[in-house]
Amino acid sequence: MKRKDFNRKWIFPIVLILGIVVFYLPPVYSRLMPRVEALQSSVKYWINPPEEAVFQPAGQAPTETPSGTSSTRTPPPTLTQTLTPTTGPTLTPTITTTPLPASVNLTGFRYEDQKNRWNYCGPANLSMALNYVGWNGNRDTVAKSIKPGIQDPKLDFIQQGRSDVNVMPYEMVDFVNDETEFRALSRLGGDIEIAKKLVAAGFPLIAEKGYYEKDYTGKIAWLGHYQFVTGYDDARGELIVQDTWNDGPNFRIRYDEFMAEEAWLSFDNLFIVVYKPEREADLMQVLGPYADPMWAAAYALGMAEEKIAATSGIDQYFAWYAKGTSHVALQQYSDAALAYDQAFVLYNSLGKDDIQRPYRMMWYQTGPYWAYFYTGRYLDVINLANVTLTETISKPTIEESIYWRGRAKYMIGDTPGAIADFREALRLHPNWAPAIQALQDLGIQP
């Protein structure tokens, strides 16, 4: 009798220990952990729906910090210069009137998807663009540099960089220019005409755009996405893209659908071109006035303003946000702040029964931080970062929001809080130059 009781007593602990051991076996862990994380996110989103989170801009700079100290402190000389946009060389465009072919379908690259990876459209698309010009790496080679994520041995064997929800365009451009023999540039204000000109000249482009999809909560959600544009067909009015997610290789998408407010406009019609250095003069000729990034930003501004006048609701929200992004690129921060204020007013007014509010917007674009920071609205920077990090994402792993919150904290006198944020941003993204620079500006070794 005692022996049976003893056996029963140890059954549950033994089964529990065996279950834990089996769970952490790499083949099992790699399959189950993403589902566990999705379940955790679903529970949090069920308790606090992220689309219900709102940010209310205060619209004014603080006069004093909570401790009563002056908020007009002077930052270290380079702290306000970190990530400040720099104007590229102003080039005289060469206009060409050569008629374009009715259709083009570029080949000569290796298709890559983002399957079995987490938030991997950036590395996969950039790998295809680099492969087209003769690079021999792959999506993981790119991700190791621009999407390192938290260094966690328990997770790295599944995918390094799982915690990083987005790769910024400048990170992709910098990777090409700094770590390969090829070159890359990005511009705002893309349209179908420039896309066709680039493809016809042998310059496929990466477009950053948004789309709606049912997420794991069962709701229709807006997400950001990169697509590699490799062809077009005027007869059918379609672009040919290499989609790394659901739509696969050589997917066709209508011109008007590609240009929709929730699509390309939601990222201010941004595009990236990867090219061989010896073809730079050819590229500049094809770009024409787009060769000047300030012209491109001004053109994007005009596109956004036209959409503002012609739309309403969520479409107009995307247009106001794009207008703010254009002003940031033009270093017109007061105008940008006003545009973003209007975007957030529209966002807050969107109905819950319509397509879900695009709560992921700040995961991908940091324009409001630039605008509010450079107009002295530091509390707005902090509040927006807090809403983004605590109410729109299951885990606070967006290093850009943490970094900008740190910069704003420093400006209102909270140096310890700023240092903590810079260190956390660096933990989330090892070797990230902005966080390293911010710490060094404060006399602290990373």
pLDDT tens digits for range 404-418: 999 999 999 999 999
pLDDT tens digits for range 47-87: 667 888 889 998 765 444 433 333 445 444 333 333 333 34
pLDDT tens digits for range 252-278: 999 999 999 999 999 999 999 999 999
- Confidence (pLDDT) at 162: 59
Q: Cβ(173)–Cβ(316) under 8 Å?
A: no
| Alpha carbon distances (Å) from 361 to 87, 93, 184 | 25, 34, 25
- Domain extents for the chain? 47-85+292-446, 93-291
> Which helix or strand (DSSP H or E) is residue 227 part of?
strand 220-233
Q: How far apart are the first and last CA of the chain?
A: 63
How many angstroms separate the CA atoms of 389 and 401, rounded? 7
pLDDT band at 173 (very low <50, low <70, confident <90, very high): very high
Architecture of domain 93-291: Alpha-Beta Complex (3.90)
The model's pTM is: 0.83
Q: Matching CATH topology for 47-85+292-446 and 93-291?
A: no
pLDDT higher than threshold 60 for residue 27: no
Residue of 238, 213, 208, 236 whose CA lies nearest to 223:
213
At the fourth CATH level, which superfamily is domain 47-85+292-446? Tetratricopeptide repeat domain (1.25.40.10)
Lowest mean pLDDT among 31-45, 93-107, 329-343: 31-45
pLDDT band at 148 (very low <50, low <70, confident <90, very high): confident
Instruction: Classify 138 as helix, strand or coil.
Output: coil
C-alpha 284: how far from chain center: 26
